[in-house]
Structure 1
Amino acid sequence: MIASCGLIGRSAELASAARIVIQVAASDINVLITGPSGAGKEMIARALHAKSGKSGSPFIAVNVAALAPGIVESELFGHERGAFTGASSRRIGVFEQASGGTIFLDEIGEIPLDIQVKLLRVLEHRIFARVGGNALIRADFRLVAATNKDLAVQVERGAFREDLFYRLRVVSIDLPALSARKADIAPLALHFLEQRAAELKTDKLHIESGALRLFHKYDWPGNVRELKNVIDSFAVTSQSGRIRAVDFEKYMIDNSSRASLLPVVTHRTPEAAEHQLIFQALMTLSNEMSSLRRLIEHEVELIRGGQPVQSGLAQQFGSVNLEEVERALVERALDEADGNRKKAARMLGIGERTLYRKLEKYGLK
């Protein structure tokens, strides 16, 4: 089933996608492909076109995210001469170029709201006009869109039209990250290696079994695109033509160290992530306050028990007042740290922000 669609792999996830491709390819209904960047969404779109019975007709891919907002409309609809400054001649847009074929709009979530309205109109009425023109042109294309965003969340935020969302998502195909499709790694790697060997006109390219095992242990944050880049790069830079385990292991280590400096994808909405950060901050503050309180209570117990206290708090206060003890502890820590607030906070077992609040509270500068 997978091979019949021209797809490479043997994972259950890819088989599920191929099954939907076969079911809907012959129709002209819109398809929305979801999944992370580099997962192979265009590969699915091309499979839909190839199985549509119109494989000889145009397939035009447009990455919306790569277009400046001001030229998206002209790119899609085309424009007449003089439609705007710099429009020295008529331009035929993607909608006309793809007549009888398929348009693949990648990163559809990046399309501006004003263009969303016009795209919806084309999908509903199948007619459009070039920018600066009045003549209506019949739209004869099949639209396949793709996104790495959660468009339902974008709709809730008002960043994406709900009516367009449902118009695009007549059929939805989800393509998970390569890390969730481990069974696709070896077939894809060997396919890319064969492609590269043909381009270089050599039969010496080879992947060591140890390297292939490491391929399955690696997370591939760049997905299929990263796998292809790795094969291409090693095929050219390896003197022996072999992709060795030791070389790929170094690649894994280098990329792991770089990845540790990058934000981690949590698949949470921004609101949920913000709530999590607030919760963590409150927990940290709570722990810091508990630590300071335990320190104060310890000093108080020493004072009440008549035991000697190195800080001299017993000599400072005839009766015990928690705030006065706290103030004295902060003063003592600052004094012992020679005014270094970071060091003082560390001595008290609290964060710098908590210390700053205490300094403001007690007027200590």
Structure 2
Amino acid sequence: MYVANSDRYEKMIYNRVGKSGLKLPAISLGLWHNFGGVDVYENSRQMVRAAFDLGITHFDLANNYGPPPGSAEENFGQILKQDFQPYRDEMIISSKAGYYMWAGPYGDGGSKKYLVASLEQSLKRMNLDYVDIFYSHRPDEETPIEETVEALDLMVRQGKALYIGISNYSAEQTLEMTKLFKELRTPFIIHQPSYSIFNRWIEDGLKDVLVDQGLGAIAFSPLAQGLLTDRYLNGIPNDSRANRSTSPFLQKENVNATIQKVQKLNELAKQRGQSLAEMAVSWILRDGIVTSVLIGASKVIQIEANVRALDNLSFNQKELIEIENIVKNDS
């Protein structure tokens, strides 16, 4: 029987989510990849246990995570049943809906019909009464934003979600939703954007909105789909994601275009006494605006390595300038 590490809260950093009362660990575990029905269940189980033992209390899912879609929630529900029933109140569990999930006109988007049905299905798959955070996974141009907001508010009032978040929304859309949520007094507290040393879109207004509105942020793809690791320092390995022509997230062209920058960033990380991945995670948390970094993993050792980033979160001005110069250099 699993018994959690008694020292799990000693080294983890917990940050307040905006101006809410909730705190998240500085490192959260995402179940986007490697937790589905095609993956080895016992490896998934060991990763969740190892994460919790390291003080990672937040586990992030979505209705369509797998493959097949829904299987990550099913597997996580089984892990909860086997190992975490005594610890449910120490865990933050989130899910999302917004992308395609099932056939027909009601299995995609931001309509009230889809969001309500999807959360109900997610709760059944995980055998939960509620999730701690429920997200609108993406904006839907075909659905009035008021409808999406009212659907999310309903989920809180029904007791199926404690807090509300959004993901992949622009600065303007986030501000509009914030105003609507405030009118309804909905506990809207967090935005989940992609963000990394190479991916800066949230710096074009969104970070300012988050600060001004008292919202938290949790960054996904912090390692740029593996670019900001030692995986591609010497080219593209045969078994890598970039070498798979079917991968929509990381292509050979991405690696070839950035390899010199990655090598220079790696040298800077060495000077800081960190791996490149550790420095990439630390960089996201550097200014206190991002509440948590959402990591992915395929093995326990990767989770342990990412948590080590918390040992050195400080950057001096010279290091920050050097990172900017490396990233902006087109040569």
The answer to whether TM tops 0.5 is: no
Q: Which has the higher helix share?
A: 1
| More contact order relative to length (CA 8 Å, sep ≥ 6) | 2
Scaled by the length of structure 2, what TM-score is found? 0.31
